[in-house]
Structure 1
Amino acid sequence: MFTESKNIKKEMQINQDEEVSFNVSRDGVILKTFLLITCIKILLIPTYHSTDFEVHRNWLAITYNLPVKEWYTNTQSPWTLDYPPLFAWFEYCLSQVAVFFDPEMVKLENLNYASPATVYFQRATVIFADLMLAYGVREISGTFCKSLNGHVIFVFLSLCNMGLLIVDHIHFQYNGFLLGILLISMSKVSKIGKEMSVLQGAIWFAILLNLKHLYMYIAPAYIVWLLKSYCLNSGKFFKRLFILGIIVLTVLTVSFGPFITQLAQVISRLFPFKRGLVHSYWAANGWALYIGAEKILSVIWKRLGWLKDTKSAVMTGGLVQEQNFLILPTPTPIVTFLLTFLAILPALWCLLCKKSYMNSKYFIRCTVLCALSSFMFGWHVHEKAILTAIIPLCVLAATNKKDARIFIILSSAGYTALLPLLYPNNLFSLKLLLLLIHMFSSILGLTNQHVKPLLRLHEWLYVIPLPLITFYEVALHKLLFGDRLPFLPLAFTSIYCAIGTTYCWILYYYIYLQNNTYADKKTAKSKLKGQILKDKQS
């Protein structure tokens, strides 16, 4: 008896030691990868930066110099503050440090100011903020990646993400910081049965919404998941619903409280519907295909003499403005909202109503589908919004071959569509190198992880030409057409990549529904076997 007890204790100690060793290995992978990619980010500091650099510099100046009541009313610069209040406070905190690097950086009148100290400071803040991404990767990997190989693949796909390098560390934004908070939140709310963890996840997501309101598109997945996994299955529905409501209201009060007297002004900044259906460079979504069809039809109609209106280049002038279509019906904000809602409805209904969906992986998939649907049909969608779907998909790609298949196509098309953001000609080699490295490494890594080819023949035929699309956009178009049709390279890139994102959206929905239909049958079959066994025993 004593010997048996001693053996059990010894076995438990061995298991604990193995678990500690495993966790140390996981953290070591994250640390080494983060340091490696940070070195690359530092090398990218002198590269081109977009007008978003000046946008954030101006926000530093606004929050540093003006009283809170003027943050959302100041119009001295065209780049007015249009993020929720928590992000404004984030900029305020940065501005208190920025003044020590270069006092001129935080002067309101210094429009388009970009001294070397300013460049290094702002680039450094993005790199430093990526610590939140690293922590988010650590948290969600601990929840979903059960093997070290899966963990390594996920860490590489997320921390060494080509899209984030382009958008944050060349173009200039803070998406890594925000997506890190999203990953932390998803990890916490995925731990069914752990009340404190779920509540922490809800707090993190409420904070995220008050940092960047465009994450509202994935809020329905959170609402449905929390209702089903936290409220409905507890026997304490109203109590838990009340707690979640208190969390949301508390964060909203802290965020919007100082601006309560100018709430209408803040809301008008957050939701500028007058910007038009598409951004100046079309996102690779359903509207790119729709506008492409409109353009082709308008040319045909004109040739046939059916088009009296001689307006040219509908939605192809690269301008952000409201425009009317000549052939097809002109979409309005309410139409795009309804389309988005209808697109996410099947995923939400399955997550809420089917027992087989009581699995945190389906919550992640539902979130990805919500992000993809809003990207496909939303109003004035930026091309960078594809990251909201791709980053959460990374963790599933490392653990499931069907998710990996979608990831390869979606990330390859989505990142190709991001490359025109880096328009200076001297960045062509960097653009092509980043795309090729991403495609080769993700395909080889995921194929090795799942020990079998992931793409079908027609998918290979779509993915392989993507680097050629970038080559055409940068060099081949000028050789063929000279200065004619200047917007065609961007339009062609958006439309070709939109075919890939549309295909992924449809295919992922099919896989999502099919997998769970199979799961329903499996559950029903196991119940039937159990019933037969009981009948035999009785």
Structure 2
Amino acid sequence: MTDRVSRRVCLILVVSVAIFLRWCVSLFSYSGQNKPPMFGDYEAQRHWMEITLNLPTKEWYFNTSNNDLQYWGLDYPPLTAYHSLICGYVARYINPEFVALKVSRGYESYEHKLFMRATVVVADLLVYIPALCCYFSDKSRGQINKFNKPSSQKARHDTYVAELFLALIYPGIILIDHGHFQYNGVSLGFMVAAVAALLQSKLLVAAMAFCLALNYKQMELYHSLPFFCYMLGVCLSTKKKLLALKKLLCIASVVIPTFILVWVPFLSNIDVILQVLRRLFPLYRGVFEDKVANVWCALNIVYKLRNVDHLIMAKICLVSTLLAVTPTCLDLLLHPEKNKFLLALINSSLAFFLFSFHVHEKSILLAAIPAILYFPIEPFPVFWFLLVSNFSMLPLILKDNVLIPFVALTIFYFMSVIVIVDIEFGCDGMRLKSDSGPVVSKSNVNQKSQTKVKLKKQLSNEKWLSYAFMASIIGCVVLTVCSIFIKPPQKYPDLFPLIVSVYSCAHFLLFFLYFMYRQISPDTHVCLKCD
């Protein structure tokens, strides 16, 4: 009973710290604060509450006298609209001025800010945080035979708490959802829940959870191919054909009704469906938004891709993305293994972020969250990637005036990982996967001298990574300082945002190649936290 109480107390403390950090960030500025006429994402979310509450469903995605699509028209799937509707009811109950039709545009007050910030915290408490708790529990994490469980129950609990804590304090999603202002935790939370269910071989639950994620934000298409390929690969790898067909039909029997249930208010008319799809996939927009750390923004320096016809550019992006994501999908389809699935989520997300059409700088979160799930397996490269992913959003952070929480959270996260990995994983937590056998710990390496020699050789060969890591992080720090204190030349006002995006893009390309290699050619590897 004492251990059970201790476990609950630790879990409550970890979640409380995560909520405290989120609320501290929410006290600062948000996207578009005091910046008429369009304001920012904060106003977009408020406006969707106004529209969904006051207008009939059939008008939500159409341009009407009461719904000007040029003013933050709804462009997310129906589940986001339903969420906005629920928030709208609560807002009207608190103060009808929050969501009064037309006259509430640009509404800003201290009470409204508290309400809006609270809705994001509640969303995290209902979806994102429980999903991470489920994923880092022994039931899910134990399914991946790459991270040795400690021998004692207390040690298992301590490791679970440490992993969960580091996942919850990742600065990127806190700064975007609770600083900039969005609800990424809802779609990403459903995605994490789907991964947790999949690792426990609950394919039907995973299918339903991911359908909810995709119907909340269409950017979950970044993760759709790994889910599709893994589930199809599991069905195809079943020796009994009738059983394989049964599995496939069961998955379809969950996916199709889930989509129908979410979309049923819009299925009465084909014109309505097409209009919703046009809003979800706006090909009339540019190839990227602002200075994004992807390939197209980097190439735009040499050749102005913004001037290329939107439809032509969209086709180029489509072909490039498919070529980039094909190796990881084929590998997962032919070898549907759970550790490969986690890597495929990272690789697919990076492929979409680097090469797809109309990418936001915030979209790097779609690669960062799967990387967080992979952290217990390879802490060093994931830690490095997460730091760079957070840094890549610096121009947006400066634009939203949330520099102080950005610096504070980044330092806190950096120090937390260094301290916790030393304490919880330590040198005895270093793992080695041999070419022909299972994962073994350092304490067992002495049993095979050949493996020991190989381990020592790898450690000596990979010392250069620590220097590369330090150089990379120093570069991030230098660019951050320059962006804050140095005024760019008048001729190049976006000089530093552009340098940040290109610098981050170079990192992401290297990480993409590394994680692709880790998936397709799993080699002997060491978690490089220990010297």
Length-normalised TM-score, structure 1: 0.79
In structure 1, distance between residues paired with 2:474 and 2:421? 17
Pairing 1:59–2:48 present: yes
Deviation of 1:426 after TM superposition, in Å, equals 5.9
Change (3 A) 1:249 1:63: same
Pairing 1:470–2:476 present: no
SS at 1:274's partner residue?
A: coil
Q: Deviations over 1:430-487 (max 9, x none)?
A: 33233333333334434552537984322321122212211111212x1xx4544211
Aligned to 1:499: 506
Match of 1:94 among 75, 87, 110: 87
Percent identity (aligned): 26
Aligned to 1:338: 319
Contact 2:343-2:518 within 8 A present in 1 as well? no
In structure 2, distance between residues paired with 1:149 and 1:336? 45
Q: Which runs of 5+ in 2 are unaligned?
A: 32-39, 143-148, 150-155, 431-458, 526-531
Aligned to 2:348: 370
Pairing 1:226–2:204 present: no
Aligned to 1:434: 409
Change (3 A) 1:227 1:27: farther
Aligned to 2:119: 125
Aligned to 1:292: 301
In structure 2, distance between residues paired with 1:253 and 1:133? 24
Contact 2:25-2:405 within 8 A present in 1 as well? no
SS at 1:278's partner residue?
A: coil
Deviation of 1:84 after TM superposition, in Å, equals 0.5
Aligned to 1:210: 215
Q: Which runs of 5+ in 1 are unaligned?
A: 1-16, 295-313, 316-321, 520-538
Aligned to 1:187: 196
In structure 1, distance between residues paired with 2:180 and 2:132? 23
What is the correspondence of 1:42-441 to structure 2 with a 5 Å cutoff? 42-50=23-31, 51-74=40-63, 75-76=67-68, 78-109=71-102, 110-131=104-125, 132-142=127-137, 143-144=140-141, 146=149, 147-192=156-201, 197-230=202-235, 232-233=237-238, 235=240, 236-260=243-267, 261=269, 262-280=272-290, 282-294=291-303, 314=304, 322-324=306-308, 332-354=313-335, 358-398=336-376, 400=377, 403-423=378-398, 427-441=402-416
Aligned to 1:458: 468
In structure 1, distance between residues paired with 2:480 and 2:501? 11
Change (3 A) 1:27 1:379: farther
Q: CA RMSD in A?
A: 2.5
Length, aligned pairs only? 457
Deviation of 1:391 after TM superposition, in Å, equals 1.4
Contact 1:83-1:211 within 8 A present in 2 as well? yes
Contact 1:126-1:168 within 8 A present in 2 as well? yes
SS at 2:284's partner residue?
A: helix
SS at 1:130's partner residue?
A: helix
Deviation of 1:324 after TM superposition, in Å, equals 3.0
In structure 2, distance between residues paired with 1:425 and 1:350? 41
Q: Which has the higher helix share?
A: 1
In structure 2, distance between residues paired with 1:442 and 1:34? 17
Change (3 A) 1:347 1:28: farther
Aligned to 2:528: none
Contact 1:168-1:175 within 8 A present in 2 as well? yes
Deviation of 1:159 after TM superposition, in Å, equals 1.1
What is the correspondence of 1:6-21 to structure 2 with a 5 Å cutoff? 21=3
Contact 2:342-2:373 within 8 A present in 1 as well? no
In structure 2, distance between residues paired with 1:497 and 1:456? 18
Deviation of 1:242 after TM superposition, in Å, equals 1.5
In structure 2, distance between residues paired with 1:270 and 1:283? 20
Deviation of 1:230 after TM superposition, in Å, equals 4.8
Deviation of 1:98 after TM superposition, in Å, equals 1.0
Change (3 A) 1:376 1:26: farther
Length-normalised TM-score, structure 2: 0.80
SS at 1:380's partner residue?
A: coil
Q: Deviations over 1:148-204 (max 9, x none)?
A: 343233212221120011100010001122211111110111223xxxx22111111
In structure 2, distance between residues paired with 1:234 and 1:105? 58
Structure 1 counterpart of 2:130, one-letter code? Y
Deviation of 1:379 after TM superposition, in Å, equals 0.6
Structure 2 counterpart of 1:233, one-letter code? T
In structure 1, distance between residues paired with 2:247 and 2:406? 49
Contact 2:283-2:311 within 8 A present in 1 as well? no
SS at 2:393's partner residue?
A: helix
Change (3 A) 1:43 1:433: closer
Deviates most, 70-79 or 49-58? 70-79
Contact 2:169-2:413 within 8 A present in 1 as well? no
Contact 1:436-1:467 within 8 A present in 2 as well? no
Deviation of 1:108 after TM superposition, in Å, equals 2.5
In structure 1, distance between residues paired with 2:171 and 2:334? 37
Q: Deviations over 1:24-53 (max 9, x none)?
A: 655443321111121232233331111110
Change (3 A) 1:103 1:191: same
In structure 2, distance between residues paired with 1:108 and 1:425? 27
Deviation of 1:425 after TM superposition, in Å, equals 8.8
Deviation of 1:496 after TM superposition, in Å, equals 1.0
Contact 1:55-1:79 within 8 A present in 2 as well? yes
Aligned to 2:34: none
Deviation of 1:234 after TM superposition, in Å, equals 6.5
Of structures 1 and 2, the larger Rg is shown by 1
SS at 2:187's partner residue?
A: helix
